[in-house]
Amino acid sequence: MAARKMDFESTTLNLFDKIMAKIPYLCTLIRKIGFLESLSTPIRHPTIMDKGANFVDYVRVNCRSGRGGAGSAHFRREKFVPKGGPDGGDGGRGGHIILKGSRNLWTLLHLRYRKHLIAGNGENGAGALKTGADGDDVTIEVPLGTIARNDETGEIEHEIIEDGQTVILTRGGRGGLGNDHFKSATNQTPRYAQPGEEGIDEWKVLELRVLADVGLVGFPNAGKSTFLASVTAAKPEIAPYPFTTIIPNLGMVQYRDSRSFCIADIPGIIEGAHLGKGLGDRFLRHIERNATLLFMVAADSDDIREQYQILLNECEQYNPDLLHKQRILAITKADLIDEELEQMLQEELPTDVPVIFISAVTNKNIQRLKDMLWQSVANLRYQL
């Protein structure tokens, strides 16, 4: 009996030892399983929200200008100066909220987490005609092309288009007048002064509309970014899948005789963009300011004329004024079709717009297109 008990105990101990010996191996196994699992779970690629998060072109800000300081109702009191008369100074004005254009900024990102702009209050006036100090202004820098709207009415109030340009977004309250202002022949001891004016507390909408001479309009994958990269020093992302570009890109074309113009490449638009399809019409606002619209349709599309019409329609749905802009139609990727097919396509092209076949790969007609764009830009810029 005792021997059997000993036997059982030694077997248990052996088993225990064996398990303990296997622990490092089990740990490695568990780690390996974890590694294999991580292989099977898809890697999280940056999403549209991640990539575009730094491009902010619309913010609502709460602007609170400062209250004006009260005027002083004070009388001069000095030895040997009896009945010195009123000498109350004026209150200082409240601080303004000021917008300032800066060519170094490109988005409104810096205002995304700075929702409340609060200016300082003006100081009260004092005796001996001392005027109170003005409240501290709050100046926010914004990129060129920013417009400020009234949040309630949607009315455009200001537009920043030049570097260093400043406008008062929300005006600070006026300082009250001191009693010195109210003295008169019939009232030589006015015992009152004006209170300071209240500051304004309001919401404003700041919207960025990129200032560029030429805007690229096309379906995703049409070759817009490739064209931008071939004529400017910009390095946009280029890839053979739709919606590679999800935020606008800008590039400067160095034209002959050191003249230059700016091109904006906006994300591709698709049929129904005005109903929110694809990336929607959110980025169309960035071509509203462009002098010329360069429509781009790929040469290997099923029906070039139809695609052009769809793009035109989306622009019209967004803002009918876009149709009054100068237009050029570029048929991209012309290297994918031969001369014969190009001749055949010529007959099916829209007739209401200048058309040019280009290829960013073989450089076909790129210089000619630059000439056409410059002509169109210069026409408006210098009213030739």
By CB under 6 A, name the binding residues for ligand GTP: 218, 220-226, 238-240, 242-245, 267-268, 332-333, 335-336, 359-361
Q: How far is CA 308 from CA 116, 135, 342, in A?
A: 44, 55, 17
What would the x/- binding string for Mg ion be over residues 240 to 259, using CB under 5 A? ----xx--------------
CB nearer to ligand GTP: pick between 182 and 219? 219
Q: How far is the CB of 105 from Mg ion (least distance, A)?
A: 23
As measured in angstroms, the least distance from the Cβ of 112 to ligand GTP is: 24
* Closer residue to ligand GTP, CB minimum distance, 55 or 243: 243
Q: Which residues in 200-239 contact Mg ion (CB under 5 A)?
A: 225
239 contact choice in Mg ion, ligand GTP, none (CB below 5 to 8 Å, kind-dependent): ligand GTP
Q: Residue 263 or 360: which CB sits closer to ligand GTP? A: 360
Smallest gap from Cβ 336 to ligand GTP, in A, equals 5
Residue 147 or residue 330: which is nearer to ligand GTP going by CB? 330
117 vs 269, beta carbon nearer ligand GTP: 269
Please identify, using beta-carbon distances, which residue of 97 and 246 lies nearer to Mg ion.
Answer: 246
Q: What is the smallest separation between the CB atom of 366 and ligand GTP, expressed in angstroms?
A: 9
In the complex, least distance from residue 254 CB atom to ligand GTP, rounded to whole angstroms: 20
Question: What is the nearest approach in angstroms of Mg ion to the Cβ of residue 251?
Answer: 12
Q: Which residues bind Mg ion (CB under 5 A)?
A: 225, 244-245
